[in-house]
Structure 1
Amino acid sequence: MAVYWSACLASFAFTWFATHVKHDKEGIGYWLLVTLVAAFPLIFISAIRFNVGADYIPYYRYYLGILNGAGQGRYEVLYYLANKLVAAFHLSAPWLFGFTASLFLMPVYKRIISDSPYRYMSIFLLLGMTYFFFFLNGTRQMIGAAFLLVSIPYIEKRKFIPFLLLVLIASGFHTTCIVFIAVYFLVYMDLNPRLLAVITLAIFVFGKFFANIANGILSGMDYYSTYLESTYAQKGQGYVVLAMNILLVFFATFFYQRENLKFKIYYNLQVVALWASALTGKIVLIDRYRMVFGLASIILVPMTLNGIENKNTRIICSAAVVTLYFAYAMYTVGIQNSNMVLPYQTIF
């Protein structure tokens, strides 16, 4: 874990440097450079890894196939084109892994720098909540989740077309991202925390009923029907993950910011992540939606902390968040080795 935490600390320094360089305007070029520099330590260790991540070998072999002229295969079109782009320059696999890490991390850092009141805490939470480690396994899905994160300002500004475009781009990396379209309408349905609590309780109580309906629908889809007969269908409930999601929603609800639309968007995404967590072990692959929607919490938590008026309470809560998520990451990744990211080894 020392490599990962060192890269996290290095990213703090790189982010400080990138955001303190004097500039005249903040166009696309500026943000591409700033996010690349800020995320570089994590991009670098993603690029030079060898056999790190449960899906490393399948992605590695897929790229080798593209290099040798293979077609799209079973992966989504934009992920195929990303591989095709790197292969066009006849580059080795680490360049592909570095490029895909950039596709994930640079959009995430854009939202962190723009929206998070505590940028360094958000970077820490990217690892502490284990989303970075999941990226080293579920690369396509997390690239999609990053582009969904970029779409949030367009929800806030009610610009449906650019929002939809970003959702379609995300879906081009992982098909499951298409359900994010519902978020645009969910935010403006004025679902207050009390009503969301009732819906959440219903999901916990009637989870098995909802699961039977969902699995029945999935069984009729060629792509997902195969998962119903695989080990994915036997995956049980992750009680530690569920407890963490419940605690996070309770924390954000207690310090709910009623007049802050941006906070409401991030809050609703975390509630949906809690619903997915509650249904994990009941609906096949539903935990993947927890990752897609839950990524927003790396910004929700700092926003919640920033809204706490009492300074001492804010400091205590901040210390508790850092301690809790450091322990969580050390347990799930450091001890249980979730996503198979240990031992970290390089191409060298």
Structure 2
Amino acid sequence: MSFYIGIFFILCFFSFIEGQNLDRRITSYFYFSFCFCFFVLSFIRWETGTDWKNYYEYFFNVRNVVAENDPFEWGFSLLIKTVSFFSDNYSVFLFIAGFLLFAFQSIAIKKLSPYPIVSLLFLWSIQFANILFVRQWIAVAILTYAVIYIQKRKFFPFVLFVILAASFHRSSLLFLGAWWVYNLRISKKKMTIILLGSIGFSVIITKTIEILSGGLGGIIQAKIDLYLNSDYNNETNEDLNLVSIIVKGFANKFLILFISFYLYDKIRDKYPQFQGYLNLYWFGAVIYFSTISISLVFVRFSYAFDFFQIILVPYFFRILENNVLKIIMFILFFVYLFLRMWQILNGPYAEDYIPYKIIF
């Protein structure tokens, strides 16, 4: 556990330095140094991270998997098949997959965030900066990078990156809607009403999926049947404490949204792109609250949008001009992130993270 906490405090120190608006060339050096270190940690790990066993066994059996029965998306499967053809070393796969993830993630955060190290600290606190990545986090990294092309108004490259992300995780296809969501001109009042209304939509969505799932057929129907199965959800909810998850989701999302709404006009006047990031995060919250009572699995559709919390929050500090207030806000921010990280380190999947084991 001290491994994760130690890195957290190192990132806190450099985040605070970055927040003093030092020369961006200096902070960029530290930022990319952290990204490189996290990339290294992502492929020297061993038996650490969720789904380790599933991915590890799949790597060595992928040549025997029939396409019709392949449990993973074609892009992820193709990557593993290609690597396994040239090497039977699983660490080689982690190296290549990790490089793909951190290449997209590092560049995206650098281009989108006003304080990249602060964003990296946030990402470390909620999912250890993806050093323990699964295929969906590769997809999310690609989708985050794709937002650059929304800003440039280049639809074709954006769609290509979404398709690439979907080849790692099917839920990425929903991110096609980000092209329109990012540019929405919607008031804070309407955002709040829709957000609150999304909680009640869960029942309607549940019934709709139950009706439609019978006509989908194939692997999609099989997965929906599994996700809506009461035994499956009861088991999942028991492990993760569904009530606790909903309460934490409310607390975290409404806290960030409340502060975003409060500072909205002040930030948007200086940084117009803030509205786009807020739109994406808000839309993810709508998806989250619309699906959380249906199945924890469907919440995954919100992950790519939810990722933009690490881009939003640094803007809170960017517009602070009072140094004393900025210091106080940083302290509160560090405490908040530490509590979020502490919950993960003591959560139901703690044994997948602790201890952090390396191949050596």
Same fold (TM > 0.5): yes
CA 1:82/1:231 → structure 2, altered by over 3 Å: closer, same or farther? farther
Q: Deviations over 1:20-52 (max 9, x none)?
A: 59xxxxxxxxx9x99975422222222222222
User: 1:314 and 1:37 mapped to 2: Cα distance?
Assistant: 25
Aligned to 2:324: 312
Indicate yes or no: 2:229 matched with 1:229.
yes
Q: What TM-score results when the alignment is normalised by the length of structure 2?
A: 0.81
Contact 1:48 1:94 in 2 (8 A): yes
State the percentage of identical aligned residues. 24
Aligned to 1:60: 56
CA 1:217/1:311 → structure 2, altered by over 3 Å: closer, same or farther? farther
User: 2:316 and 2:209 mapped to 1: Cα distance?
Assistant: 33
User: 1:203 and 1:60 mapped to 2: Cα distance?
Assistant: 38
Gaps of 5+ in 1: 22-30
User: 2:302 and 2:313 mapped to 1: Cα distance?
Assistant: 16
2:259 to 248, 251, 261: 251
User: 2:230 and 2:44 mapped to 1: Cα distance?
Assistant: 32
The Cα of 1:173 is off from its aligned counterpart by 0.6
Aligned to 1:298: 310
Which runs of structure 2 are paired with 1:41-60 in the superposition (5 Å)? 41-60=37-56
Contact 2:113 2:314 in 1 (8 A): yes
Aligned to 2:250: 242
Aligned to 2:146: 151
User: 1:312 and 1:198 mapped to 2: Cα distance?
Assistant: 35
Contact 2:202 2:290 in 1 (8 A): yes
* Partner AA of 1:325 in structure 2: L
Q: What TM-score results when the alignment is normalised by the length of structure 1?
A: 0.84
The Cα of 1:123 is off from its aligned counterpart by 1.1
Aligned to 2:113: 116
Aligned to 1:188: 183
CA 1:217/1:292 → structure 2, altered by over 3 Å: closer, same or farther? farther
Aligned to 1:166: 161
- Equivalent pairs counted in the alignment come to 331
The Cα of 1:131 is off from its aligned counterpart by 6.0
User: 2:211 and 2:39 mapped to 1: Cα distance?
Assistant: 40
Contact 2:60 2:88 in 1 (8 A): no
Runs of 4+ in structure 1 off by over 4 angstroms are 5-8, 10-13, 33-38, 68-72
CA 1:338/1:274 → structure 2, altered by over 3 Å: closer, same or farther? farther
More helix by share: 2
RMSD over equivalenced CA pairs, Å: 3.0
Aligned to 2:21: none
User: 1:10 and 1:282 mapped to 2: Cα distance?
Assistant: 35
Deviates more, 1:93-102 or 1:52-61: 93-102
Contact 1:11 1:40 in 2 (8 A): no
